[in-house]
């Protein structure tokens, strides 16, 4: 059946249109999330010991003291293993996890043992981030979310090495539901991000943008200080709030979608270029493109 | 199968919605009446199972990054035998995480009333331990021959947009907040 999108309701990501969705978005999500997480982990390698070992600025057992233990840290996992009759030195456990996490991400990216690799990557990512909870920031939270979706969604159903030995492409019965799930999550995340900003006065008078751009040691491609006497910071503050709070509506209304997507991607590029939050920005751009751009690409005869 | 997935999706999104709604409400309340006790999560979301689910799926996170206000920055600097020391990383990513650590300490120092009164002394001891650990590692890294060192924590100040418009010079300044003198005896190592 040929679906004429113009005849469908303009608001809301109607599940009825999901038949026309390019399933390549699942592979796009998998490959990019795995790649960004891998690069993020790689970027910590020069200082790995300073963050995770007993040669670090804050020792693992001290970091562990205020952890809520809803999930393991490296220290508590070591204790659990010792309690189970598997005594393991902290450094050995750290080394094992240090190799296992990138391996899982690599397998996930390639689509080999996809589901197992995704679960392994999620658990190890949590293990690492919980172990240094005082050093955690937004990129870690969104990596957890993205890896969770890699566990639940059939991200290995296209462009994956698993398909080569399975010899067939699995049917994608619920991909519309998964896409709606991701879109709804992003809609909620952006709405509340905007709502939290508009509650206080600093995003409404430009001070928040100004302060964020001048945070200690943040990277910036060039200084925007020459704009201090213009309404630039005020406008960017309101633009950010508007883009975030109106995300669900703007992204799901067919005509505004390209412009809204451009705005959101531009906002994250700005965060990357002027605040140095590269991995956070890259991950958010990937999640947005996976939800709203990759599914709209024309379908071709796909190789496995 | 489809019904199960729908149910899971609805529950998952509801979890996220409730967590964020409460976080926004607490921010709003804080903006109206600073240091008011925060509204806790509903009992159902405080059960062990819900907490595990929230942690494993990332659904427990609030999304108010830079919301309400952008965090204040702090800087830790040390001095040992006349040598200036600063916790730094070789990669930009590590530097970001060290800033996050300093910001966490800043938040705790600037808003100590946000923790229950009974926990405040314990938390203060913990912060002192964290800072002492940073000092000790800096001391070891520098190979400082002196057994004593000072660690300073300062708030990093930069003119606000309003001040900048009034012509205030655009330079960073450190407002000393805390200086601790440590002596490391050989058996500390």
Give the ipTM of the model, two decimals please: 0.90
Q: Where are the beta strands (DSSP E) in B81-172?
A: 83-85, 148-157
- Do A102 and A209 sit in the same domain of this protein? no
- Tell me how far apart the alpha carbons of residues B127 and B131 are, in angstroms, rounded to a whole number: 6
Residues from chain A contacting residue B75 (CB–CB below 8 Å): 216
- Do A136 and A200 sit in the same domain of this protein? no
Q: Say if CB A81 and CB A110 are below 8 A apart.
A: no
What Å distances lie between residue B183 and B145, B180, B188, CA to CA?
12, 10, 9
Domain boundaries, chain B: 2-57, 73-188
The count of CB pairs under 8 A between chains A and B is 197
- Do A147 and A214 sit in the same domain of this protein? no
Give the residue, B110 or A297, on which the prediction is more confident. A297
Q: Pick the residue of B27, B64, B189 with the most A CBs within 10 A to test the interface with A by mutation.
A: B64
Burial B24-37 (b: 16+ CB within 10 A, else e): bebbeebeeeeeee
- Tell me how far apart the alpha carbons of residues A138 and B45 are, in angstroms, rounded to a whole number: 22
Evaluate if residue A19 carries a pLDDT over 80. no
- Do A44 and A140 sit in the same domain of this protein? yes
Evaluate if residue A158 carries a pLDDT over 80. yes
Give the residue, B168 or A1, on which the prediction is more confident. B168
Mean pLDDT value across residues B126-150 = 88
- Tell me how far apart the alpha carbons of residues B115 and B124 are, in angstroms, rounded to a whole number: 11
- Tell me how far apart the alpha carbons of residues A92 and B71 are, in angstroms, rounded to a whole number: 37
Hey, is the C-beta of A205 within 8 angstroms of any chain B C-beta? yes
Hey, is the C-beta of B14 within 8 angstroms of any chain A C-beta? no
Write the DSSP symbol of residue A218: -
Q: Give percent of chain A with pLDDT exceeding 90.
A: 78
B55-66 pLDDT per residue, tens: 999 999 877 666
Which pLDDT belongs to residue A8?
44
- How many Cβ atoms are within 10 Å of A104's Cβ, its own excluded? 25
- Do A165 and A188 sit in the same domain of this protein? no
Q: Say if CB A265 and CB A238 are below 8 A apart.
A: no
Q: Say if CB A182 and CB A13 are below 8 A apart.
A: no
Q: How confident is the model at residue A304 (pLDDT cuts 50, 70, 90)?
A: very low
A96-128 pLDDT per residue, tens: 999 999 999 999 999 999 999 999 999 999 999
Q: Looking at CA atoms only, how far is residue B114 from chain A in angstroms?
A: 16
Q: Which of B12, B71, B161 sits opposite A233 (nearest CB)?
A: B161
Domain that holds residue A241: 184-298
Q: Which of residues 210-239 of A touch B (CB under 8 A)?
A: 210-212, 214-219, 225, 228-229, 233
Longest CA–CA span in chain B (Å) reads: 69
What does DSSP say about strands B83-85 and B148-157: parallel, antiparallel, or unpaired?
unpaired
- Do A129 and A188 sit in the same domain of this protein? no
Hey, is the C-beta of B100 within 8 angstroms of any chain A C-beta? yes
Number of domains chain A contains: 2
Q: Do A122 and B56 touch (CB under 8 A)?
A: yes
Torsion (CA) A148, A159, A267, B54 in degrees, nearest 10:
0
Q: Which of residues 128-157 of B touch A (CB under 8 A)?
A: 129-130, 133-134, 137-138, 140, 156
Evaluate if residue B72 carries a pLDDT over 70. yes
- Do A161 and A28 sit in the same domain of this protein? yes
Q: Which of B101, B140, B165 sits opposite A229 (nearest CB)?
A: B165
Q: What share of chain B is helix, strand, coil (3-state, %, to 5)?
A: 55, 15, 30
- Asked whether residue A149 is assigned to any structural domain, the reply reads yes
Mean pLDDT for chain A overall: 90
B97-117 pLDDT per residue, tens: 988 888 887 776 666 555 666
Among A15-24, A37-46, A155-164, A258-267, which stretch is predicted with the lowest mean pLDDT? A15-24
Helix, strand or coil, per DSSP, at residue A138: helix
> Which of A175-184, B19-28, B65-74 tops mean pLDDT?
A175-184
> Which of A29-43, A214-228, B157-171 tops mean pLDDT?
A29-43
End-to-end CA distance of chain A: 25
Hey, is the C-beta of B29 within 8 angstroms of any chain A C-beta? no
Q: Do A228 and B6 touch (CB under 8 A)?
A: no
The pair phi, psi for residue A89, each rounded to 5°, is -65, 145
Evaluate if residue A177 carries a pLDDT over 70. yes
- Do A134 and A197 sit in the same domain of this protein? no
Q: Which of B23, B61, B162 sits opposite A141 (nearest CB)?
A: B61
Mean pLDDT value across residues A222-226 = 90
Mean pLDDT value across residues A221-246 = 94
Which pLDDT belongs to residue A9?
45
Which pLDDT belongs to residue B123?
81
> Which of A120-124, A205-209, B88-92, B168-172 tops mean pLDDT?
A120-124
- Tell me how far apart the alpha carbons of residues B46 and B69 are, in angstroms, rounded to a whole number: 27
Residues from chain A contacting residue B170 (CB–CB below 8 Å): 225
Boundary-marking domain end, from A131, A147, A170: A170
The pair phi, psi for residue B168, each rounded to 5°, is -65, 135
Mean pLDDT value across residues B16-20 = 94
Residues from chain B contacting residue A180 (CB–CB below 8 Å): 9
- Do A128 and A229 sit in the same domain of this protein? no
- Tell me how far apart the alpha carbons of residues A292 and A25 are, in angstroms, rounded to a whole number: 9
Q: Which of A50, A68, A138 sits opposite B89 (nearest CB)?
A: A50
Which pLDDT belongs to residue A12?
45
């Amino acid at each position: 059946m040929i679906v004429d999108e113009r005849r469908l309701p303009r608001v809301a990501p109607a599940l009825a249109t999901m038949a026309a969705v390019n399933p390549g978005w699942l592979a796009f999500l998998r490959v990019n999330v795995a790649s960004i997480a891998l690069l993020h982990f790689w970027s910590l390698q020069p200082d790995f010991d300073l963050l995770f070992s007993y040669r670090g600025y804050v020792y693992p057992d001290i970091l562990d003291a205020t952890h809520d233990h809803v999930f393991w840290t490296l220290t508590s996992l070591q204790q659990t293993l010792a309690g189970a009759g598997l005594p393991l030195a902290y450094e050995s456990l750290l080394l094992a996890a240090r190799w296992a996490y990138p391996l899982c991400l690599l397998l996930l990216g390639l689509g080999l043992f996809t589901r197992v690799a995704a679960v392994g990557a999620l658990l190890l990512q949590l293990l690492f981030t919980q172990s240094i909870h005082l050093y955690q920031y937004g990129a870690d939270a969104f990596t957890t979310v993205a890896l969770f979706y890699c566990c639940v969604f059939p991200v290995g159903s296209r462009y994956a090495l698993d398909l080569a030995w399975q010899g067939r492409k699995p049917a994608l019965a619920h991909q519309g539901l998964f896409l709606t799930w991701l879109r709804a999550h992003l809609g909620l995340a952006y709405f509340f991000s905007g709502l939290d900003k508009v509650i206080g006065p600093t995003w409404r008078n430009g001070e928040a943008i100004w302060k964020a751009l001048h945070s200690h040691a943040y990277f910036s491609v060039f200084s925007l200080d020459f704009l201090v006497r213009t309404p630039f910071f005020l406008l960017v503050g309101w633009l950010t709030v508007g883009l975030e709070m109106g995300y669900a509506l703007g992204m799901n209304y067919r005509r505004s979608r390209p412009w809204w997507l451009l705005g959101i991607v531009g906002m994250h590029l700005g965060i990357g270029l002027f605040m140095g939050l590269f991995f956070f920005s890259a991950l958010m751009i990937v999640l947005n493109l996976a939800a709203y751009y990759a599914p709209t690409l024309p379908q071709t005869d796909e190789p496995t | 199968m489809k019904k199960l997935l729908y149910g899971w999706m609805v529950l998952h999104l509801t979890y996220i919605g409730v967590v964020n709604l409460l976080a926004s409400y607490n921010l709003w309340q804080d903006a109206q009446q600073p240091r008011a006790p925060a509204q806790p999560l509903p009992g159902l979301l405080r059960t062990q199972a819900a907490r595990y689910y929230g942690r494993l799926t990332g659904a427990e996170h609030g999304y108010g990054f830079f919301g309400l206000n952008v965090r204040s920055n702090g800087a830790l600097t040390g001095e040992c035998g006349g040598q200036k020391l600063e916790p730094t990383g070789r990669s930009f990513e590590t530097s970001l995480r060290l800033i996050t650590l300093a910001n966490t300490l800043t938040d705790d120092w600037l808003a100590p009333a946000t923790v229950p009164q009974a926990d405040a002394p314990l938390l203060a001891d913990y912060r002192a331990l964290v800072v002492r650990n940073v000092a000790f590692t800096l001391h070891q890294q520098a190979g400082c021959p002196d057994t004593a060192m000072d660690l300073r924590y300062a708030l990093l100040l930069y003119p606000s947009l309003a001040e900048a418009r009034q012509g205030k010079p655009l330079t960073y300044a450190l407002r000393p907040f805390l200086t601790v003198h440590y002596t490391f005896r050989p058996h500390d190592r």
